[in-house]
C-alpha cells in the first residue's frame, strides 16, 4: 500500500503548492499529545506505512523527539527518503526572543537538518520556561517584527523550507504583512464544517497564503476540543449516504475546500480510515447542507487571555473580533 498510496496521492494531485514553490501533502498526521513517546513513535511509523508523508509537531507538544525517531528509522531502513516527507514544527510563546536557537533545538530533537515548515505557534510572547497555562505574570508584549525577522533568518539559513504562522486572525496577518520581508507560506488555524473560517480563507487566498486546518475533527477527547462536531446530525446523514465515516466526511470537506487537514489519531484503524479521503467526493448538496451548520469556534483559547498583564484582555481581542 505504502508507495502505491503515495503514488496515488501524487496522481490525484493531492499536494498543495506553497508560495515558496514547494509542495505540501494535503493530509498530515497531528501529534499534539504529551508524554507518550512510544505511542507517538509507533503512530508515525504506522502512518508512514499507510501512506502519510506529512507530520505536524511543535516544540510545545514535546512530540518532536518521538516523531524524529520514527522518521529516522524510516530513512535508515530506506522506506522513505527525507525529501519525500513534509515536517512542520512550531515556535512556542517563550521562544519568540530567539527563533534561531529555538529551531536549532527543534531540529536536534527531530534529528533533521531542516524542517519543511516552521510556524509561529500563537501570536503570544511568554516568559521563558513559564508554566502552561501561563500565569498572569508570564505574558509579555508581542514583538512580532523581531520575532518574524528571526523566522526569516531561519529560512535564509536553510533551516526551514518555509515559514508561517498559526492562530493568526486577518487583522494579525495584515499587521505581519505590513513589515514581513518574506511572506508567510501558511496560517495553521482551527477549521472544520463548524468553524469554516470563510473571511480568513478569502484573505489568505488573496495573499497566496495556504491554510492548514487543525482540529479538523473538532479535537474530541483533547483538553481544548469537543465531540460536538463529530456528533453533528448533518455530518452523520452525509456519512450514512456515502457509506463513509464521520471523520472521513469531515476530512473530505476540508480537502475539497483546498486546505491541508491535520487529523490526529494514534489508532491504526483510525489512522488508515482518515487517510481514505482522497478518492471520493461530496456532492454539491452535501456542501450546501454543510454550509447550513451553525458556526461555533471550538478552540477558543481562554488560557491566552487575561485582564491585567496579557496583550489580550478578552477573547474578542485575541481573535480581533473574528470569533
Ligand X SMILES: NC(=O)c1ccc[n+]([C@@H]2O[C@H](COP(=O)([O-])OP(=O)(O)OC[C@H]3O[C@@H](n4cnc5c(N)ncnc54)[C@H](OP(=O)(O)O)[C@@H]3O)[C@@H](O)[C@H]2O)c1
Task: State the residues that interact with ligand X by CB under 6 A.
Answer: 30-32, 56, 121, 166-167, 188, 214-222, 225, 245, 247, 262-267, 270, 273-274
Whose Cβ is closer to ligand X: residue 7's or residue 109's? Answer: 109
Contact 276, 5 (CB under 8 A): no
61 carries an active-site annotation: yes
Whose Cβ is closer to ligand X: residue 77's or residue 247's? Answer: 247
Cα–Cα distance measured from residue 307 to residue 10, given in angstroms and rounded to the nearest whole number: 49
Whose Cβ is closer to ligand X: residue 20's or residue 31's? Answer: 31
Contact 286, 296 (CB under 8 A): no
C-alpha cell at 319: 481573535
Strand segments (E) across the chain: 15-17, 23-25, 29-30, 54-56, 86-91, 117-120, 125-126, 139-140, 163-166, 186-190, 210-214, 260-261
Angle between helix 284-291 and 233-242 (nearest 10): 170
Name the active-site residue from 37, 52, 61, 118. Answer: 61
Whose Cβ is closer to ligand X: residue 3's or residue 240's? Answer: 240
For the CB of residue 265, give the shortest distance to ligand X in the complex, in Å: 3
C-alpha cell at 122: 500563537
Cα–Cα distance measured from residue 162 to residue 198, given in angstroms and rounded to the nearest whole number: 24
For the CB of residue 227, give the shortest distance to ligand X in the complex, in Å: 9
For the CB of residue 259, give the shortest distance to ligand X in the complex, in Å: 12
> Exposed, middle or buried: residue 130 (CB in 10 Å: 0-12, 13-18, 19+)?
middle
Helix, strand and coil content of the chain, in percent to the nearest 5, comes to: 40, 15, 45
Whose Cβ is closer to ligand X: residue 221's or residue 291's? Answer: 221
Backbone dihedral region of 127: left (phi > 0), alpha (psi from -120 to 50 degrees) or beta?
A: beta
For the CB of residue 126, give the shortest distance to ligand X in the complex, in Å: 14
Q: Which residue is nearest to ligand X (CB)?
A: 30
List residues with catalytic annotation: 61
Amino acid at each position: 500500500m505504502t508507495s502505491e498510496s503515495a503514488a496515488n496521492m501524487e496522481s490525484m494531485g493531492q499536494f498543495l503548492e506553497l508560495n515558496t514553490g514547494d509542495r505540501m501533502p494535503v493530509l498530515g498526521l497531528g501529534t499534539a499529545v504529551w508524554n507518550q513517546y512510544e505511542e507517538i513513535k509507533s503512530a508515525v511509523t504506522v502512518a508512514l506505512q499507510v501512506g502519510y508523508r506529512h507530520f505536524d509537531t511543535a516544540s510545545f507538544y514535546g512530540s518532536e523527539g518521538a516523531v524524529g525517531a520514527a522518521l529516522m528509522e524510516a530513512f535508515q531502513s530506506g522506506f522513505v527518503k527525507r525529501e519525500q516527507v513534509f515536517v512542520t514544527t512550531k515556535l512556542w510563546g517563550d521562544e519568540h526572543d530567539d527563533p534561531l536557537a529555538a529551531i536549532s533545538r527543534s531540529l536536534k530533537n527531530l534529528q533533521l537538518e531542516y524542517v519543511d515548515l516552521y510556524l509561529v505557534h500563537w501570536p503570544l510572547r511568554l516568559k521563558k520556561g513559564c508554566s502552561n497555562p501561563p500565569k498572569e505574570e508570564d505574558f509579555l508584549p508581542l514583538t512580532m517584527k523581531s520575532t518574524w525577522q528571526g523566522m526569516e533568518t531561519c529560512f535564509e539559513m536553510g533551516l526551514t523550507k518555509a515559514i508561517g504562522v498559526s492562530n493568526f486572525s486577518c487583522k494579525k496577518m495584515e499587521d505581519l504583512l505590513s513589515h514581513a520581508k518574506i511572506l508567510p507560506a501558511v496560517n495553521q488555524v482551527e477549521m472544520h464544517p463548524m468553524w469554516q473560517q470563510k473571511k480568513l480563507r478569502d484573505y489568505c487566498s488573496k495573499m497566496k497564503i495556504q491554510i492548514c486546518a487543525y482540529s479538523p475533527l473538532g479535537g474530541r477527547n483533547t483538553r481544548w476540543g469537543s465531540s460536538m462536531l463529530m456528533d453533528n446530525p448533518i455530518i452523520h446523514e452525509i456519512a450514512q449516504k456515502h457509506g463513509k465515516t464521520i471523520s472521513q466526511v469531515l476530512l473530505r470537506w476540508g480537502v475539497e475546500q483546498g486546505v491541508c487537514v491535520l487529523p490526529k489519531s494514534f489508532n491504526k484503524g483510525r489512522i488508515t480510515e482518515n487517510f481514505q479521503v482522497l478518492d471520493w467526493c461530496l456532492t454539491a448538496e452535501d456542501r450546501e447542507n454543510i454550509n447550513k451548520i451553525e458556526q461555533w469556534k471550538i478552540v477558543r483559547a481562554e488560557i491566552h487571555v487575561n485582564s491585567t498583564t496579557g496583550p489580550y484582555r478578552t477573547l474578542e481581542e485575541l481573535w480581533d473580533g473574528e470569533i
